[in-house]
Amino acid sequence: MQLIDGKHVAATIRERIAKQVEQIIAAGGKRPHLAGVLVGHDGGSESYMASKVKACEQCGFTSSLIRHDSDVSQETLLQTISALNNDPDVDGFIVQLPLPRHIDEQRIIEAIDPRKDVDGFHPINVGRLSIGLPCFRSATPAGIMMLLEHYQIDTRGKHCVVVGRSNIVGKPIATLMLQKATPGNATVTVCHSATPDIAAITRQADILIAALGKPHFVSADMVKPGAVVIDVGTTRVEDPTSPRGWRLRGDVDFDNVAPMCSYITPVPGGVGPMTIVSLMHNTLLAATRQIYP
Ligand code: GUN
């Protein structure tokens, strides 16, 4: 079994991005600028956002954080988005999800200029992804593809089973694994809450991607020996022994599943760091106009 070290791969890619930024600056170019919009004070969102700001510093990007209280009106939030769309210094921006219930999340996503949508959530980017056109790819699926590429994991003709069908991870990773590309070119099955006997399907997986957000859902009896297992879960569970009182738990019962796998991602330190670095990658693509010239 080989552990997929997302922390290491992310650091390598971050260094590569930082070098490219140095070259841009040396050539008299503008420093890439990522902005983030954070509504309320959800612990998970705060910590994601803090990691993104830190990654911007490590890459040599400018970052800015726009905060709104959780009772912000949809109108005010739309005005913030419009200002970011029109700010020539901002290359890309994200609105951290989830948003409070009184705000129509889809309306917010669709207000973002697709050329600045470094999260890849706008229907233009999602649509372009689905037919294989250049686009901003949702950060977590893009990060998983970078891991598969880094470890040169053979995906062609393999059966990839995705558990979970979210717009952010499940659907786009299924799309990417399906594409005629390397990595990709897999036979893809997507399981979800209405799928009967999920275990019967996951046991057929050469590559199993767990992205449903249920801690330790994937048990050893659901995994084919020798499978590649990618764990996207990051649920906070109480842990009195941790200084923070909680720790992250993946969707895979790592201790029992890992010995059966050819490759597996740990939680934390697997997919998580890659999500942040692929957002940085998207920001560099936005700043250098590589997707929408
Ligand atoms: N919430 C959970 N993951 C993400 C993400 O990748 N981007 C944004 N904007 N919000 C999230």
Ordered DSSP codes for 150-212: HTT---TT-EEEEE---TTTHHHHHHHHHSSSSS---EEEEE-TT-S-HHHHHTT-SEEEE-S
Q: Is the dihedral of CA 268, 209, 15, 130 positive or negative?
A: negative
Listed in sequence order, the residues at least 6 apart from 289 whose beta carbon sits closer than 8 Å to its beta carbon are: none
Check: CB of residue 138 under 8 Å from CB of residue 279: no
| 222-281 per-position pLDDT tens digit | 999 999 999 999 999 999 999 999 999 999 999 999 999 999 999 999 999 999 999 999
Protein residues whose CB sits closer than 6 Å to any atom of ligand 1:
94-97, 119, 139-140, 168
Whole-model pTM: value is: 0.97
| 275-286 per-position pLDDT tens digit | 999 999 999 999
Mutational pocket test of ligand 1: of 49, 97, 125, the residue with most ligand atoms within 8 Å of the beta carbon: 97
Check: CB of residue 93 under 8 Å from CB of residue 37: yes
Beta bridge partners of 94: 36
Specify the pLDDT at position 102.
Answer: 98
Give 144 Cα–ligand 1 centroid separation in angstroms. Answer: 15
Domains of the chain (ranges plus CATH)? 29-113 (3.40.50.10860), 139-272 (3.40.50.720)
Amino acid at 193: S
| 110-165 per-position pLDDT tens digit | 999 999 999 999 999 999 999 999 999 999 999 999 999 999 999 999 999 999 99
Percent of the chain with pLDDT over 90: 100
Give the whole-angstrom CA distance, residue 276 versus residue 3.
Answer: 20
Instruction: Name the residues annotated as catalytic.
Output: 52, 96, 119
Give 1 Cα–ligand 1 centroid separation in angstroms. Answer: 30
Give 65 Cα–ligand 1 centroid separation in angstroms. Answer: 15
Specify the pLDDT at position 75.
Answer: 98
